[in-house]
Each structure stands twice: as C-alpha cells, then as structure tokens.
Chain A
Amino acid sequence: MTWLDALLILDSTLRVATPLILCAMAGLVSERAGIVDIGLEGKLLASAFAAAAMAALTGSAWAGLVVAIGVSIILSMIHGFACITHRGEQIISGIAINILASGLTVVVGVALFRQGGQTPSLPREARFPSLDLPGSVSLAELPVFGPFWAELVSGHTLPVYLAVVSVPLVWWLLWRTRFGLRLRAVGEMPAAVDSAGISVPWLRYRALIIAGILCGIAGAFLSTAHGAGFVREMSAGKGYIALAAMIFGKWRPWSVLFACLLFGFLEAGAARIQGTPLPVIGEIPIEVVLILPYVATVVLLAGFFGKATPPAALGTPYQKER
C-alpha cells in the first residue's frame, strides 16, 4: 500500500465520518443537558430530504442547508415539547420522531416529485462543490506533504469542514463558557441549577436547538454534498451509529471524534476491500464487507472499552420535589 492509497482511504474515512461526527456532536450536546436523543436518525433523514427538496426546487444548495437546519430544529423542538415541557418518556418521543421522519419524507417526496419518494437528481450547481484550498495545486508536487494537503485536507465540501470544526467548537462551548457549565450541570444535577436560580427547561431547549443545527448540517451533507439527491431511508442507521459513537466516546468530544473516525474508517476500508482478493482468505463476499461497520458497532459497545458513565440525570424529566 502506497502513501497515496493510505491517503485515499483516510480521505474517504473523513467523508463517511462527516454525518457521524455532526450527529454525534448533536447527541453529545443534547445528552450532556440530560435529554436522550435517539431521534438523531429521524432528524438526519428529514433534514436530508428537506435539503434535497429545497435544492431541487430552488437550485440553491445554500437554501437547502437553511431549510434542512430549520426542519431539524423543528423536530428537536417537538422532542423538547414532549420531554421537557410535558416530561414525557424521551426514548418514546425520539422513536416517534424517527418513524415520523421515515414516513413523512416519502409521503412529501411522492407528493412533490412523483418519483417514488426520491428527489430528482441534483445538478452540479444545486450541490455543495468541493473546495480547493490554497496550495492544492502548487504544493501538490512536494513529497509526502504535497499529496497529504492536496488529497486529504483539500477538496472536501463545506459540511465536511464544518464537521471537523464542530468538535473543538462543542468542546469550547461546553468546557470554556458559562452556558456550557450550566448545560453540563443540568445534565448531572438539575436541582442544583434550579436552586441557583437558572431555568432548567430553557437550558435544555437551547441544547436541543444546537443539536438541531448540527443534525441539519449532517442531513444537508448526505443529500446535497455527498450525494446528489434524496433517496428513501438514505440515513441508513447513521444516526444510531452516531449515538453509539457518542456513547463509545463517553460523551467527550475528542473521544467521540475518534470513535466516529473509527466507524468511518471501517466503512471506508470495507468499501476498499470489496472485490479485492486478500491473502489467505481470498475475496470476501460483499455482504460480509457491508455489515462490518455495524458488527463493529455492536462489538465495541458490548463493553470492550470500559464502562461509560452517562450524565447522571440523562433521561430523567426534571420536576421540583414536593
């Protein structure tokens, strides 16, 4: 395997990991505030559809991104209304959002485009272009660093860079700002926040809004940057895998990033070894290759890497005690 081969695998790792990173950061912000966010999958799917539909109708990927974020925030607010305002069961509410997204995207898709739930294939102008960073051409001839810059760092779409930036941003927000201190406190001990005279519901709603924004970007990436349009169930469990990566990363941004990249690497690697005969075992059946990332999720989560301690108040609605 050459340096270029390795770079190409890492390059596709990053692209595959992008929706995972964004969704996992969304989940992290939400769960650090004490709200279980199993609805990541639904938000991802709905915003992917919204982005593609809007881009198809207006021809603008940016309009698609804005609407995707809007739809994702609306779903987050429905979750918040059920779980924060009415102290509902958070898992149920999240699953309801997933089912809603799964059905609604197809229904609205058929109504708008009459293509069996898909959106029309998006032309190049209605998608996020690859961005060539300065030096991607002039530096490309340098040994080692040249290909690294040109192949791996440069040439991604905007959402990929947003995903990479979201990790330090979330870390900074949670561990360096007043808002972050309060947000983490409300996930551990909401009564302490309440007794400090700070509104518990408003903090949790704000956490969900941030989660909605991040999820919306992930959805737009799927259908208007990575893909060229929306297809049914195109989120394909990525929201759940992001949730798994978040738990595997123990609700800590950098560990979660590592987990997302690991899952991304497994999937990118799997795509790479498809059809390639390996020494000793020969060619691996495509079905086996495709389930690898999912098997890895199960195995890694089965407690291989020590116990993960979730925020103490996760999943528990806050009620002033009598």
Chain B
Amino acid sequence: MSHTPSRPGPAPGPVGSSYATPAIRLTGITKRFGPVIANDAVDLEIAPGTIHGIIGENGAGKSTLVSILYGFYTADSGAIEIEGRPAPILTSADAIAHGIGMVHQHFMLVPTFTVLENIMLGAEGGAMLRGGAAATRAELLRLERDYALEIDPDAVIEELPVGLQQRVEILKALRRGARILILDEPTGVLTPAETDRFFDILRGLREQGVTIVLITHKLREIMEVTDTVSVMRRGRMIGHRTTSETTREELADMMVGRAVSLQVERIATQPGAVAMAVQGLTWHDEGGVARLSDISLDLRAGDILGLAGVSGNGQSELLDLLSGIAPVQEGRLVIGERIVDRSAAMDPAEMRRAGIAHIPEDRHRRALVLPFEARENAVLGYHDGPQTGSGRLLDPTAMQAHCETLMARFDVRPPAPRLPAIGFSGGNQQKLVLAREIETEPRIMLIGQPTRGVDIGGIAFIHAEIMARKAAGCAILLVSVELDEILALADRIAVMNAGRIIGEIPRGEADVTRLGLMMAGVEAAA
C-alpha cells in the first residue's frame, strides 16, 4: 500500500494504522543540557499528509525535540527516520535536504531584505542572483496558485504585518521543497482573525500532501486543526491520541499530570482578615491584547489561595501586577489601608516594605543574579536592611553571616556563601530565594511555581516551609501549573483560563477532574 503526495484530505484513523510509511519516526530521542534532561527517550511517529500537534507546558521539551529534528541540536541518543529511511540529521542543511522545513517561533527573516531576497537566501540557484531571482519569482507564482499564498515579492519584510511575515516563512520552506513543515508556536504573534486564516492555510497544505507538525501549548488550536496529537511533559512523551477521539480535559490532564501524589503535613488554621483584596483587575499588554479580565480575589491571613491553570493564561501577568512590577491599569488592589490603582502606584520596593514578599516564577531572570555569589543574592532587594550590616556600605562580614544563617536554616547545599548562584542546583537556588523572602516574615507572600525544576526532596522541604508560613498567619497566593501541588497546599483553589478566573472552590470540593474541566475553560458547575 502506498500513498500519493496529493492524496486529498486526511485519513489518519487510529494512530499508526492506515498508512504504509510514517513521514517521521523518532525513536528513543534523548537530549541533555548539563544536568537537565530536555528530552527523555522520546518516541514519535507521524503519518504523512496529516496535521500532528505536539502539546505541553513551557519547558516540556517540545521545542528541543523539533530543534533536534531540524538539526539545530544533535540528540545524545536516538534515531530519526524520514519517510522510512534513516536520516542522520546533524545540521539544518541535512534537515532541508530531507525535505523538512521549519517556521520558528521568532521569525528567521532578514528585516531589511525584500520578500524575494529572504526566500532566495540559501536557495539562490546559482552564484549570480539574476537568474535565481527570476526563477524564484516564477516559483512564487506557482506556490501562490497551488496554495493560495499571495505575497508581494518586492515588499520589505520589516514593513509587513506579522501574519504576512509568517507567510513568507512558510513560502521559504515550500520553495525548498519541504514536504514536512514544522511550526513552533506559530500563533503566539497572530491576532484571532489571522489565526483563523493561518489554520485555513494549514488545511490547504494538508490537501496538497504536506505533513505538518504543530507545536503549541494551546488546547484550542490542537482541537481545531490537528488530526493527531502527542502530549509531552517534563521532557517525556506522555501519550498519543487521535484528536477526534480525545477531549480537552483528557489532554489537560496529560499535560499537567497527576502521577506523583505529594504528601504534606497539613496544618489547619482559621482564616483571618483579608490582607490583600484584588478588585476588578483588567490589564492589556503593549499590543492592546487583554491579558487579564476583571480579576477579583481575596488573600486572607493564615490561608493559602491556590491559582491553577495551564501556563500562559494570565497567571504571570497577575503576579506582576500584585508584586508592583507592572502598573495597575483598571481595577485596584486594597492592601490594609492602602489602595493601589491607576493613579496611586506602588513599586516593588514599596510593596516589599508593606510586607509583601514575591517569589517569582522565573527564578533565573527575576529572583537571582546567576553570576553573583550566594551571599550577594541573599540580600537582593534588601540592601537597605540589616542584612547588609549597620552602616551605609555593604558589610561583607554581615552578608556572609546572614547568608550562612539562611543556608543553615533552609538546608541549602552546598552551604557556600561565596559560590555563584549558577553553581547551585535548581532546588537549592529556590531554597535560597525562599529563605531570603521568608526570613523577613512577610504578611503576604506571592509564590509562583515554587517547585519548578526542583527535585522531590526539595519539593517536600519547600512545601513544608510554605505550610509553616501559613500557620504563622501569612496570607499566601500560590500560583502553580502542578495540580498536585495546588491540591496538597491550598485551602481554596481558583482556576484561570484566558485571563479570567473561571471559578473558585474550597479544597474539599476540588478534584483533578473538576479542576481539569475548569482549566479547559468550562465554568465551575455548582
């Protein structure tokens, strides 16, 4: 049984049955970056002429996997087969030679070049440009006719809207004879209308027999346009499904996982007064897209509010607003007597003085200065306080002692205040951050992804510390994409989807299935 490239429409059937030779077969792909395993023995098989989605959280290993397929990285072990033949892909040139094209998340276009020049780059058709340019123009007309991809070849890239720039990327790949097209988070820069047009283009390409690999973390896109889907989590391939036979909820479950059950000694407390009230926050990014819509929450003393959701649904933006990093646009925050709104902003330093501690989601960029010593990182944000000694100058002896104290109490290993932050493992880095913030005994803690990249032992320690803060009367907001973590720690659970709070339920009424439905955007059933 053989297939023809122009076979109309998909016939995916159950994964792995209705075709002779897969377009792509990956076997046991493993890739390490230092101590981090980005891909752990990943297997993948994709039928020709289908749209296959790979979904997973940020950092799940999707981009690494397709970068290996496109020759940007070389796998430590594992095998690649393209259209039934072993394909040792070591460079991008190898991938192109095997008929693989890639549209990167950040476009690989020269902004000052014309469309024509960009499409020619690397496929000029001879040492002189003149002949190749004429041939490329003719080829563009053909592609325009076959795929309905219209473009002005003489337009300069930087003057085109992003939707058209992306079209140029696709044309670039097709011009090189790509039969397999990899798209890495292609809709992140598109408006909803552009996204719909883009999906039509993908369906058109499939009609022509092109195999499409769509990398995304958006469930909606998977359900709308793919034939088959694979789910990745923490570098592993979790499973493969036929899109028509799965549901958003099942995929969401697979993405966030519920394998390891976490044991935390829960401490019962009586929730106290409202320490911070979030009232009607709406926030638009620079492009005018609403990232948060009418968010209202109460943080209470001696109480943990867990904020669940697939990442990228507004949690990061909310943390930025609550910690003073981004200014409030609409709505307000009430912190004790103070009101923070559009006209009365509070910067992160004022927030800190008001007893609010923030443990950022992105540890490497926002919580630590990686090349700095641990003792310097241990006083970040507290340079005016007693942590740096009594005088106006930084006192190295005091900083050393302070860091040693923190390291002893939070079991940071190795206990070496002079070691740069980059020299510690993820878990020990996070313990250092947690130590710095908890040590000031804040009234309110904003905690983002506390155990991302942290080993099991570290997770237990960090969870116990968070629980201890709650018992001491701290009001805590816990943002996590790990449902197990939320269920283990939180007293109340709110779920975010597309910048909104879908619902808030007490822990006792929450289970993974119900939260999964809410994370997929289904309103909480009463």
Contact = CB atoms under 8 A, between A and B. Distances in A.
Interface of A: 175-182, 184-185, 188-189, 191-198, 312, 320, 322
B124 interface: yes
Contacts of B120: 181
22 contacts: A178-B128, A179-B127, A181-B124, A181-B129, A182-B121, A185-B117, A188-B111, A188-B113, A189-B110, A192-B108, A194-B92, A195-B92, A195-B102, A195-B104, A196-B92, A196-B96, A196-B122, A197-B71, A197-B95, A198-B121, A312-B111, A312-B112
Given A192-B108, A195-B92, A197-B93, A185 B113 contact: yes
A267 to B, nearest CB: 33
A255 to B, nearest CB: 16
Given A177-B128, A196-B122, A189 B72 contact: no
A180 B130 CA distance: 12
Given A181-B120, A198-B122, A189 B127 contact: no
Give the interface size bracket for B toward A: 20 to 34
Interface in B47-87: 70-72
Main secondary structure of the interface of A (DSSP, over half): helix
B132 interface: yes
Contacts of A178: 124, 126-129, 132
B111 A189 contact: yes
Interface of B: 33, 70-72, 91-96, 102, 104, 106, 108-113, 117-118, 120-124, 126-130, 132
A216 B274 CA distance: 76
A197 B111 contact: no
B258 to A, nearest CB: 30
A219 to B, nearest CB: 30
B126 A191 contact: no
A191 B123 CA distance: 16
B72 A185 contact: no
Given A181-B124, A181-B129, A320-B72, 16 more contacts: A177-B129, A178-B126, A178-B127, A178-B132, A179-B127, A180-B129, A181-B120, A182-B122, A185-B121, A188-B111, A195-B104, A196-B108, A197-B71, A197-B96, A198-B93, A312-B112
A189 B108 contact: yes
B110 A188 contact: yes
Contacts of B111: 188-189, 312
A182 B122 CA distance: 8
B112 A188 contact: yes
> 3 tightest CB-CB pairs across the interface, nearest first?
A196-B122, A197-B93, A178-B124
B91 A197 contact: yes
Contacts of B128: 176-178
A127 to B, nearest CB: 37
A177 B117 CA distance: 12
A322 B129 CA distance: 33
Nearest to B126: A178
